[in-house]
Chain A
């Protein structure tokens, strides 16, 4: 089984972003070196749809993001978004639009975190990760690494 390995601070940042944008969906990526599967650089994005049921990166910001990742030889290791009224499982729309076969798709649900008036109820945030390839969803484990380890230079060949 695949596993998403993610630093505690990145996990916390995603959860905080989802809570902050509730009841709208929050979205973003965690970039990492191409082919490394290391989720290293947390990049929250604006949900241009500004909606509780839909998210979309702004097209101009999307281009800037990919150009930036390209310049750094990075790729989106994690693509995350929140569901604010339903479980943290990819919707039919999520599956249909998933277009990064190498990415871990992280779904966060904030539905238990807020009461009906939008007040904080301190409920748990559901945090789950999936591969979505050719319309097939495969859930995977999430391994949280406790503290940020100093980055090691990989040997150059």
Chain B
């Protein structure tokens, strides 16, 4: 079993159009590194200066990762990760 990662429209250029991909990692950081290995360039769209980008939301099993450890959030096989860009502006 791996971890399913739901990819938003804007990032599907990195996944050949796939809405969801599988990845592995025991923390969100490790998962994103694993994603980067198969989908080069995606990491930079999620992380900036070593932290999750302010206007990118990542959820683990429906929990916003900002409330469960951010990039250090722990993951297990079978978890579902959802990436959603914030809908925001000025």
Contacts and interface: CB of A to CB of B under 8 A. Distances in A.
Contacts of B70: none
Interface size range on B against A: 10 to 19
Contacts of A79: 87
Interface of A: 27, 29, 45, 49, 53-57, 59-60, 62-63, 66, 75-76, 79, 81, 90-94, 97-102
B1 interface: no
B86 A56 contact: yes
A29 B87 CA distance: 10
Contacts, number: 65
16 contacts: A53-B90, A55-B90, A57-B86, A59-B57, A62-B57, A63-B62, A66-B84, A76-B87, A90-B89, A92-B90, A93-B88, A93-B89, A94-B90, A97-B85, A97-B88, A99-B10
A27 B84 CA distance: 17
Interface in B1-30: 8-10
